[in-house]
Amino acid sequence: MSTVFRLIGRFPLMAATVFVAVLGGVFSAAWPTAVPWLLGGFAILIAVRSAWSMARRLLAGTLGIDILAITAIVATVLIGEYWAALIIVLMLTGGEALEDYAAGRARRDLSALLDRTPSIAHRVDAARATTDVPVEGLVVGDRIIVRVGELVPVDCVLASPSGEFDESSITGESLPVTRSAGDEVLSGGVNGSTAVELTVARPASESQYQRIVALVEQATGSQSPMVRLADRFAVPFTAIAYAIGGLAWWWSGNPERFAEVLVVATPCPLIIAAPVAFMAGMSRAARDGIIVKSSATLERLWRAKTVAFDKTGTLTRGEPEVIAFRPAPGVDVAFAVRLAAAAEQASVHTLAHAITAYAGDAPAAETAEELTASGVTATAEGHRIVVGRADFVAAEASGFAAADLQPGELAVYVGIDGAFAGAFVLRDEVRPDAKATVDGLRAAGILDIAMLTGDAEVTARHVAAEVGIDDVHAACLPEDKVLAVHAFADRPVVMVGDGVNDAPVLAAAEVGIAMGARGATAASQSADIVILRDDISRVVLALATGRETVQVALQSIWVGLALSLALMVVGAFGVLPAIIGAWCQEGVDVVSILWALRAVRTHPA
């Protein structure tokens, strides 16, 4: 029962139409004289409401398709065909309900992003006492403490000797960054394994993370509304219907012919078929693990000309992996890897997790001490082990030699019993299906494919070459990505990303696609499409779904309009009474809807 009331609350006009129809049926038996007033009065009210809505759209520069329905309602009431008028009203309100349902709930809810925005900071006074204060109360020069795993609340300068921060959600860089005293630390970064002290460099209103929130809100508000697909057929179809109805009236001298033509000319295929096709396409996409938040998104996909990708976590996995261990001369690889993993088990560092995963089984360390942003010193199986940065290991192990690294690679060095043992080489690997995805988009006719990333130029171009992208925009902050999207000539633009730093550009693009399986909630909230599986090839599938859905919608419209045109010709000769014509038009609805439901067919997963 609660579901029924919820639907009534969401679609009151359609519910009211059904109620009036039931009440009219009761009155037909008990109070026949009231039926014309009930049905006719309600139909005219709906016609006036639709006319007001249509007038507002006309002032906004959009010609809708409701004028035919309004004219048909008024004409059927004037000739006394009240039930025919109510059937048209049911079609009109039902179409509005379907379109509203297809659009779904508002997708521009930024609550998740706002909830994650730091609100409290730990300020340190001159007496070294710590007080929790609102972030907005911080001023330049304040000293704050950021504890393990906390977000940096505002842009700061590091006061501690060193610190390590995960800035992937801000810059897109997948590897943790090490900062030394005096270095800038961006708001929104996650502190590493040791508390650090920082000096406020900018107030909250001017800090990086808060600027991202503002960018998302600004991009959201600048989106232009989509013109309904069906509205493009409004002018020619309306002109043809009025012409046939007018000629029938003039030729017969009977005004009822005009009403009888308009009843079957009521644009049911336009009002109902397209929303049904879009709902079917959205349902199909959901079963493929692709959440499309509005029907307008499918139409934008249909017209898409450019696709841009973020790098980290989108084209790449977003997690560093060990690709090799390079031993020093004479060092046994298995021996060195096991002992290094024993030491790294004591660390919470992202790179430590990658090393222990690479090693598999490892002995437990007897002692272990981690020096923040430098490395780990441990003992295991009677050996002294150091694992970490180059300068840290070089100071502890003789014979140190720096690894020869390629763009996008990082080394973690190992020393055992005072001698250099080798280096782990890590890289954020390109997704195995990334190149196939780019190739699939080109095969689908998307010729302009770009990469927008916060990474350095060398690393960005290395990944781009691997996946087959030539247009590279590197070292981009969130606002740079937004500017790049606005600069693309071929539109609409599809943007694919996953982190908080991608939220503004996902909102700014005509179609934003978030990799939601691992990506930030902020990106998912600001995107038009969320891919639930950690599978970038779903971008190609989303594009195909959008194109095929619109094609089916167009086919259903053409089928419905062809049938309506045939009925108009029959109605012009006076052999189709208005009430019969209204039911025939409902039959056209059924055919159009069944055709539109072909869009629900799902691709193999």
- Report CA torsion sign: 462, 467, 468, 471: negative
Report the C-alpha gap between 546 and 284 in whole angstroms. 10
Helix (H, G, I), strand (E, B) or coil at 500: helix
Report the C-alpha gap between 529 and 485 in whole angstroms. 17
Q: Which amino acid is at 545?
A: T
Report the C-alpha gap between 490 and 492 in whole angstroms. 7
- Greatest alpha-carbon pair distance for the chain in Å reads 109
User: Which two tokens mark 86?
Assistant: 């109510």
Report the C-alpha gap between 195 and 466 in whole angstroms. 39
Which is nearest to 581 in space by CA: 7, 87, 37? Answer: 87
In the block, which residue shows the tokens 């999207």?
485
Q: Provide CB contacts within 8 A for 187, sequence distance 6+.
A: 118, 151, 152, 153, 154, 155, 156, 170, 204, 207, 208, 209, 210
Q: Report the phi/psi class of residue 141: left, alpha or beta, with left for phi > 0 and alpha for psi in -120 to 50.
A: left
Q: Provide CB contacts within 8 A for 83, sequence distance 6+.
A: 24, 39, 579, 582
- Counting every residue written for the chain, the total comes to 605
Q: Which amino acid is at 376?
A: V
User: Which two tokens mark 362?
Assistant: 């490892």
DSSP 516: T
In the block, which residue shows the tokens 């969320």?
530
Q: Provide CB contacts within 8 A for 222, sequence distance 6+.
A: 508
In the chain the first and final C-alpha atoms are separated, in Å, by 36
Helix (H, G, I), strand (E, B) or coil at 115: helix
Q: Which of 66, 155, 288, 310 is catalytic?
A: 310
- Is the CB of residue 243 less than 8 Å from the CB of residue 572? no
- Is the CB of residue 293 less than 8 Å from the CB of residue 226? no
Which is nearest to 240 in space by CA: 264, 275, 271, 274? Answer: 264
- Give, in order, the Cα–Cα distances in Å from 243 to each of 23, 247, 490, 572: 36, 6, 39, 11
* Annotation says 310 is catalytic: yes
Strand partners, 423: 326, 413
Backbone angles phi, psi at 73, to 5 degrees: -60, -50
- Count other Cβ atoms within 10 Å, centred on residue 168: 26
- Give, in order, the Cα–Cα distances in Å from 113 to each of 102, 212, 510, 522, 534: 25, 9, 20, 5, 21
Helix (H, G, I), strand (E, B) or coil at 188: coil
Q: Crossing angle for the helix pair 234-252 and 255-265, nearest 10 degrees?
A: 150
DSSP 68-94: HHHHHHHHHHHTT-HHHHHHHHHHHHH
**Residues tagged active-site:** 310
